[in-house]
Amino acid sequence: MRQKNILHWTLYTALAAGAFWLGIRFLLPWAAPFLLALLTARLMEPGVRYLVKRFRFRRSFAAVACSFLALVLIALLLSLILSQLVRGLSTFAHNLPDLAGQVSNTLTRLEASLYYFVIAAPVETQDVIRSATDSFAAMLEELPSQISTNLLGLAANAATAFPRIFLFVLTYVISVLFISISYPQVTAFLMRQIPERLHERVQALGQDVVATLGKWGRAQLKLIGVTFILLTVSFLFLRIPYGIPLAALISVIDALPVFGTGTVLIPWALLSLLSGDFALGAGLAVTYGMVSITHSFMEPRFIGQQLGLHPVATLMAMYLGFRLIGVLGMITFPMLFILLKQFHDQGHIRLWR
């Protein structure tokens, strides 16, 4: 009997994991705008109920007001981030010819410095060192043109993806409005599709998901705060103009999926080194290393504290999620782990002793 129960548990776990992976891999891209709209409506629901109860507003008016406020805040945040990125890329593209000249001058000085090193090296290693330095110099000379080509490719991809992005955003905005207006009817319809014996578990699951998202958000705010402090101290020490606003912007970018501090700091450090500003380039490289190490250490700890998972379990969830479905898995798998833990603690499932 014990072996049979273990076999059933293993089978159910494998089926659940497979269904979860298939849903994330194939269903989520199609359902993403509606799921995000449902989540946004759920987060706005307390505000809508407050307006209806406190000021006697009609639900439709309260939902429209809350939706407008939430969407405006989201749009302002995204527009701030995108405008800074576009401005930085435009400035970089404008300065690219000057950068190519600075790279050439830097290579000339570097070759002059390496010449004495090659002469002083043993005879049998001079050819190897000279070949390596020539290859490195050729790679640096081609770097500006490669960067320019990549920027053009990025612009082309963005132009190609614009219709899909526009349709996604439009669908999300309209869905938020209509779902918020009829949120009780939408949730009642969804609950009718589930057997009554599972209603309590599903409601508990929904509450756990919302609570988990809130805890994850608080953990991310803590990480943003730590990153902002580290970047601010570093930028002020390096005497970078507008250091505090730049630190705030990079901290927000770091919290976005796929992006990170390396998205800004690595190209910035590389360009500073190629243009001859070795102090700034080295300082930015050290800053990136310091932020990355701190982030890697603190993220499992913060998320683990908020979600009730041990830091090792959180790190395991993030690693497995990244290996299975990429960056999105680093966000979804810790949430899946905490949901499984809550189901275990509530006695719905038995995963460990």
Residue with tokens 């995000």: 36
Residue 175 CA to residue 36 CA, distance in Å, equals 9
How far apart are the C-alpha atoms of 158 and 151, rounded to whole Å? 10
Count the helix, strand and coil residues of the chain and give each as a percent rounded to the nearest 5: 90, 0, 10
Q: Minimal CA–CA distance to 219: which of 123, 128, 309?
A: 309
Q: Identify whether the C-beta of residue 172 lies closer than 8 Å to the C-beta of residue 36.
A: yes
Token representation of residue 126:
């001079």
Query: What is the pLDDT confidence band of residue 132, given thresholds at 50, 70 and 90?
Result: low
Range from 98-107, 116-125, 205-214, 244-253 that averages highest in pLDDT = 244-253
Tokens of 22: 């298939």
pLDDT of residue 234: 92
Handedness of CA 116, 122, 126, 128 (dihedral sign): negative
In the chain, which ranges are E strands? none
Closest CA to 104 of 134, 142, 135, 151: 142
Which of 102-111, 116-125, 219-228, 302-311 shows the highest mean pLDDT? Answer: 219-228
Cα–Cα distance between 162 and 281 in angstroms, integer?
34
Pairwise pLDDT comparison (27 vs 136), residue with the higher score: 27
Query: Which range, of 44-48, 67-71, 235-239, 295-299, averages the lowest pLDDT?
Result: 295-299
Residue 1 has pLDDT above 60, yes or no: no
Instruction: Specify the range with the lowest mean pLDDT, choosing from 5-9, 27-31, 226-230, 262-266.
Output: 5-9
pLDDT of residue 287: 92
Which has more confidence, 14 or 75?
75
Sign of CA dihedral 280, 282, 285, 287: negative
Where do we find the tokens 């089926």? 15
pLDDT band at 45 (very low <50, low <70, confident <90, very high): very high
Question: Which of the four pLDDT bands, split at 50, 70 and 90, describes residue 59?
Answer: very high
What is the per-residue burial (b if ≥16 Cβ within 10 Å, else e) of 31-41?
eebeeebbebb
Compute the Cα dihedral for 22, 201, 209, 315 and give only its sign: negative
pLDDT in tens, 199-222: 676 677 667 666 766 777 788 888
Mean pLDDT of 312-330: 74
244 within 8 A of 232, measured Cβ to Cβ: yes
User: What DSSP character marks residue 196?
Assistant: G
**Cα separation values, 81 from 71, 87, 89, 158, 256, Å:** 15, 10, 12, 16, 11
Q: What percent of the chain has pLDDT over 90?
A: 16
d(CA 223, CA 229): 10
pLDDT reported for residue 270: 78
pLDDT of 152 strictly over 70:
no
pLDDT over 60 at 145, yes or no: yes
Tokens of 293: 């190490």
Average pLDDT, the chain: 76
State how far the alpha carbon of 114 is from the alpha carbons of 93, 133, 137, in Å: 31, 8, 11
Does the pLDDT value for residue 147 go beyond 80?
A: no
Report the pLDDT value the prediction gives residue 120, as an integer from 0 to 100: 62
Q: How confident is the model at residue 48 (pLDDT cuts 50, 70, 90)?
A: very high
pLDDT the model gives residue 92: 62
pLDDT of amino acid 307:
63
249 contacts 81 by C-beta, under 8 angstroms: yes
pTM, rounded to two decimals? 0.63
Are 241 and 110 in contact by the 8 Å Cβ rule? The answer is: no
Identify the DSSP state of 198.
G
pLDDT tens, position by position, 250-274: 887 777 655 678 778 887 887 777 7
310-343 burial by CB neighbour count: b if 16+ within 10 A, else e? ebebbbbbbebbeebbeebbbbbbbbbbbbbbbb
Residue 306 has pLDDT above 70, yes or no: no
Query: Is pLDDT of 50 > 90?
Result: yes
Question: Regarding predicted confidence, which is higher, 177 or 304?
Answer: 177
According to the per-residue pLDDT averaged within each range, which of 110-114, 116-120, 318-322 is highest? 318-322
Are 50 and 36 a contacting pair, CB within 8 Å?
A: no
